[in-house]
């Protein structure tokens, strides 16, 4: 997609990204606020990838690598721009980053009910593992 430009998000992009996620992303993440995204960019300035067309934000993915796992989060494409290969281009860029950092395998958490996402991940070469469940605990100081 020659007219698509993928770049790292900067702190000045945070508000636009949060607005974009409200319109385009699946559900809400526990870190979907200014502090949450600012912390991500401070810790890893190359983690949040933005896809732009004519300067307009059309897609995002967080390509998170903590030195151990390569995990993709917040893959989202503007509703009017879907089925044009934007998610595929974002995941290609995310995987390039993972490989450059020495990553060995990429993963994503995908809601069982999110059928379009299943097709997207499968088309990008991912397969589902049925023997895991996510175990979580909210963190807070007393």
Ligand X SMILES: CC(C)(COP(=O)(O)OP(=O)(O)OC[C@H]1O[C@@H](n2cnc3c(N)ncnc32)[C@H](O)[C@@H]1OP(=O)(O)O)[C@@H](O)C(=O)NCCC(=O)NCCS
Q: How far apart are CA 27 and CA 110, in angstroms?
A: 11
By CB under 6 A, what part of segment 10-29 binds ligand X?
24-26
Contact 60, 74 (CB under 8 A): yes
Distance of closest approach, residue 83 Cβ to ligand X, in angstroms: 4
Instruction: Determine the straight-line distance between the first and last CA of the chain, rounded to whole angstroms.
Output: 50
* Binding to ligand X in span 113-132, by CB under 6 A: 114, 116-117, 119-120, 123
Minimum distance, C-beta of residue 14 to ligand X, in the bound complex (Å)? 19
Cβ neighbours of residue 18 closer than 8 Å, sequence gap 6 or more: 32, 33, 34, 37
| Nearer Cβ to ligand X (67/80) | 80
Interface positions with ligand X (CB under 6 A) = 24-26, 75-77, 82-88, 108, 110, 114, 116-117, 119-120, 123
């Amino acid at each position: 997609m020659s007219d698509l430009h993928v770049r790292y998000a900067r702190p000045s992009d945070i508000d636009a990204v949060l607005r974009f996620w409200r319109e385009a992303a699946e559900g809400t993440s526990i870190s979907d606020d200014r502090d949450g995204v600012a912390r991500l960019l401070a810790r890893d300035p190359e983690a949040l990838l933005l896809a732009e067309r004519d300067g307009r934000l059309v897609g995002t993915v967080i390509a998170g690598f903590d030195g151990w796992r390569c995990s993709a989060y917040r893959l989202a494409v503007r509703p009017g721009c879907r089925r044009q290969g934007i998610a595929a281009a974002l995941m290609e860029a995310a995987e390039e980053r993972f490989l450059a950092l020495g990553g060995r395998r990429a993963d994503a958490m995908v809601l069982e009910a999110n059928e379009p996402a299943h097709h997207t991940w499968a088309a990008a070469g991912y397969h589902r593992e049925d023997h895991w469940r996510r175990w979580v605990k909210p963190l807070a100081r007393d």
